[in-house]
Amino acid sequence: MIPRLAERLRHAGPRWRDLGLTLLVQLASTMPFVLPEQPGGSPKSWPAYAVTLAGALPLIWRRRAPVTVLAAIVGAGFFYSLAMDGPGQPLPYGPLIAFYTVAVLCPPRTRAVVGAVLVAASFPAVRWNTGSARELLFTLFIGGAAYALGRLQYTRQAYTAAVEDRAEQLERANRIEAEQAAARERARIAREMHDILSHAVSIMIVQAEAGPVAVRGAPARAEAAFDAIAETGRDAMAQLRTMLGVLRTDEAAPRAPQPGIAALPALLERVRGSGPRVVYERTGAVRGLPAALEATVHRVVQEALTNVVKHAVASQVEVRLEYGARTLTVSVADDGRGPRPGPGGGGHGLIGIRERAAAHGGTAEAGPGPGGRGFVVRVVLVTSRLEVGS
């Protein structure tokens, strides 16, 4: 019963807690009026009891005006001691709680003035009552204890507020980071789907347009075109299935590796089937690279060749990989009609190439070829970084 009541009070609002505290103080002050009278004790009277009520009731407003409440309660206590002939002596719970509230809520200057006034008032009050040093020390001790508890409560509240604020900031930062990570992942998936579908559809459209013409004069070439369409579609489906499998929650979903440099010959062969002659060359110290970097190389070449098939009307394309000490340079150059005029410096494909290069600490350039003929995409990727002190 008592633990349940304490739990309810802990979760109640400040007004309800102050009301409950006021009732407890008044209950303690009521005890001398309901207990049996002692021989020679002061008689019980309603006016005396009303003064004790006046010494407890202001606690309801202790948070709004702590100094005023303290002055009212102390004044009621002095009035009871000097003018009323009631039973016993009013207990100091009210003044102590009011002084504790001043210590919690008031600024330093107000606390210093109130403390000095109470200490100064303690000497004549004790002198009027018993005049003993023991009572004076006890009065100063319990007043100092109430003040110390108030400052400790203020420190605890400030620490709790700081911890809660830090937790809110951390939660907000985590939420922003999660949203940014989700946005980056959406952008990555959009790039992957753009590269896969754009390349596959472009190859299939070119082959499909050439197929009906070849059927009439070169059936073997028409058959090769249709085979290229089927192979391109199957490859695109396989890559999409791999990429979408990563998004599935099923642990058994197939997760084949992304195509890398080893898959470039097959990619170039499909482009050759679309018309242009493709030259592939690797120079420098050819070596194995991280899977993510190889996937980037594949996508860069794929997107550049897609643009060639869609826009260049080229007869030849040169794909070159230059292995440096710490870099890999990928260049795709065609002899077509070059870039078409338009705002933005390229579509989503070139933007995706720049984003992929930046992800590996590299750079990407795209523009007209030598003499303004054709179009060149040049990407420099960092394969390894210098160590500190090297």
Report phi then psi at 359, rounded to 5: -65, -25
How buried is residue 301: exposed, middle or buried, by Cβ count under 10 Å (0-12/13-18/19+)?
Answer: buried
Hunting for tokens 């084949």 — which residue is that? 256
- Range scoring the smallest mean pLDDT among 87-91, 176-180, 315-319, 344-348: 344-348
Alpha carbons 382 and 263: distance in angstroms, whole number: 21
pLDDT (tens digit per residue) in 96-144:
898 899 999 999 999 999 889 988 888 887 787 777 888 888 888 888 8
Count, residues in the chain: 390
The fold adopted by the segment(s) 279-390 is Heat Shock Protein 90 (3.30.565)
Q: How confident is the model at residue 206 (pLDDT cuts 50, 70, 90)?
A: low
Give the pTM: 0.49
Strands 375-382 and 363-368, by their bridges, are antiparallel
- Residue from 22, 20, 27 nearest 5 by CA: 20
Q: In sequence order, which residues have a C-beta less than 8 Å from that of residue 343 and are 6 or more positions away?
A: none
Per DSSP bridges, beta strands 277-284 and 316-323 are parallel
Report the C-alpha gap between 89 and 36 in whole angstroms: 15
- Cα–Cα nearest to 297, from 251, 334, 335, 259: 259
Sign, CA torsion 23/25/31/32: negative
C-alpha span between 302 and 389 (Å, rounded): 38
Q: How far is CA 119 from the centre of its chain?
A: 51
Domain ranges of the chain: 2-131, 279-390
Token representation of residue 371: 């003499």
pLDDT digits (tens, 9 = 90+) for 367-383: 888 877 889 999 999 98
pLDDT at 304: 87
Tens-place pLDDT, residues 155-203: 998 999 999 999 999 888 888 988 888 887 777 777 777 666 666 666 6
21 vs 320: CA distance, rounded Å? 84
Compute the chain's Rg from CA coordinates.
43
First to last CA, the chain: 73
Q: pLDDT value at position 344? A: 42
pLDDT digits (tens, 9 = 90+) for 44-68: 777 777 888 888 888 888 888 999 9
Query: Which pLDDT score is estimated for 388?
Result: 35
Share of the chain above pLDDT 90, in %: 18
| pLDDT tens track for 239-281 | 666 666 656 555 544 555 678 899 899 888 888 877 788 999 9
Q: What is the mean pLDDT of residues 313-340?
A: 87
In 3D space, the residue among 232, 257, 230 whose CA is nearest the CA of residue 242 turns out to be 257
Nearest CA among 354, 373, 238 for reference residue 303? 354
Task: Using CB atoms within 10 Å of the CB of residue 199, give its burial: 0 to 12 exposed, 13 to 18 middle, 19+ buried.
Answer: buried
Confidence label for 363 from pLDDT (cuts 50, 70 and 90): very high
Task: Provide the residue type at 77 as one letter.
Answer: G
Of 118, 130, 61, whose CA–CA distance to 89 is shortest?
A: 130
Ranges of H-type helices in the chain: 2-11, 14-34, 46-56, 66-83, 93-105, 108-129, 133-217, 219-247, 264-272, 291-307, 348-359
- Quickly state the pLDDT bin for 343 (edges 50, 70, 90): very low
